[in-house]
């Protein structure tokens, strides 16, 4: 029986590795600035200063502020996909939903969750033409949407509330101002803040 020789690994040049490392540093910096300031207040000069490179060098990687922000949003989508893939597939749908909501809140408290673009933002228009972003968002939405419908079917969630409303409510946790207000107050730990916000999200405010 003839054995096939495996293809040798593709060797990446040192220059290519350095360029990739710089690009990763740029995206991480943009991610932090988007979380701290939002797209409208973030400037390309701030990104270059954060990374420690000239603005001209930054433009060799990304041609515009919108492209910078889109790369950061794609990165977060990838992190969310990785987190979803790590969850126990046998867990109850409601527990899966709480887990992803908890993850989004934790990223926000760590200052690593970019603020979502407004409806009339040039970033939003850019993202609508970004295949990697749209494909990732669709995959995440399908997975979360399936858990929502399953949780409604087993009585864990109110079946009278449209599933799409619940999906958007969960997504809103990524930019919920409450965690930031509570953290600034200094009276609660991150774990306590997450428990409070998850409680109001899934259980409401009414006495039960």
| Structure confidence at residue 84 (pLDDT) | 95
Rounded to whole angstroms, how far apart are CA atoms 14 and 163?
49
Least confident of 39-43, 116-120, 168-172, 188-192: 116-120
| Structure confidence at residue 87 (pLDDT) | 95
Residue 180: pLDDT over 70 = yes
Helix (H) / strand (E) element for 28: namely: helix 14-37
pLDDT, tens digit, 9 for 90 and up, residues 32-58: 898 888 888 889 999 999 999 889 988
| Residue from 106, 103, 112, 39 nearest 69 by CA | 39
Per-residue pLDDT band for 201 (boundaries 50, 70, 90) equals very high
pTM: predicted TM-score of the whole model, two decimal places: 0.83
14-203 folds as Tetracycline Repressor; domain 2 (1.10.357)
Rounded to whole angstroms, how far apart are CA atoms 122 and 66?
7
Residue 60: pLDDT over 50 = yes
H-type alpha helices, 14-130: 14-37, 44-51, 55-58, 65-86, 93-109, 122-127
| Structure confidence at residue 204 (pLDDT) | 86
| Structure confidence at residue 119 (pLDDT) | 58
Task: Work out the percent of the chain whose per-residue pLDDT is above 70.
Answer: 90
Half-sphere exposure of 57 (CA within 13 A, CB side): 13
Give the list of residues 6+ apart from residue 187 with CB closer than 8 angstroms, or none: none
Q: What is the mean pLDDT of residues 65-71?
A: 89
Distance from the Cα of residue 164 to its chain's centroid: 19
| Structure confidence at residue 3 (pLDDT) | 54
Per-residue pLDDT band for 13 (boundaries 50, 70, 90) equals confident
Rounded to whole angstroms, how far apart are CA atoms 3 and 95?
47
């Amino acid at each position: 029986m003839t054995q096939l020789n495996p293809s040798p690994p593709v060797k990446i040049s040192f220059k290519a590795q350095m360029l990739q490392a710089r690009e990763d540093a740029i995206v991480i910096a943009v991610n932090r600035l988007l979380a701290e300031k939002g797209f409208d207040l973030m400037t390309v000069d701030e990104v270059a200063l954060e990374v420690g490179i000239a603005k001209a060098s930054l433009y060799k990687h990304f041609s515009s502020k919108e492209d910078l922000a889109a790369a950061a949003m794609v990165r977060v989508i990838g992190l969310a996909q990785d987190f979803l893939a790590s969850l126990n597939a046998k867990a109850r749908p409601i527990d899966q939903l709480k887990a992803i909501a908890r993850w989004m809140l934790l990223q926000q408290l760590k200052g690593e969750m970019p603020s979502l673009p407004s409806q009339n933002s040039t970033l939003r228009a850019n993202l609508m033409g970004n295949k990697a972003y749209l494909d990732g968002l669709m995959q995440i939405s399908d997975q979360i949407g399936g858990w929502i419908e399953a949780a409604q079917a087993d009585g864990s969630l109110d079946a009278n509330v449209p599933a799409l409303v619940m999906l958007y409510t969960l997504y809103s946790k990524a930019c919920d101002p409450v965690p930031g207000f509570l953290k600034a107050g200094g009276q609660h730990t991150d774990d306590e803040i997450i428990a409070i916000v998850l409680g109001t999200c899934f259980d409401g405010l009414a006495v039960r």
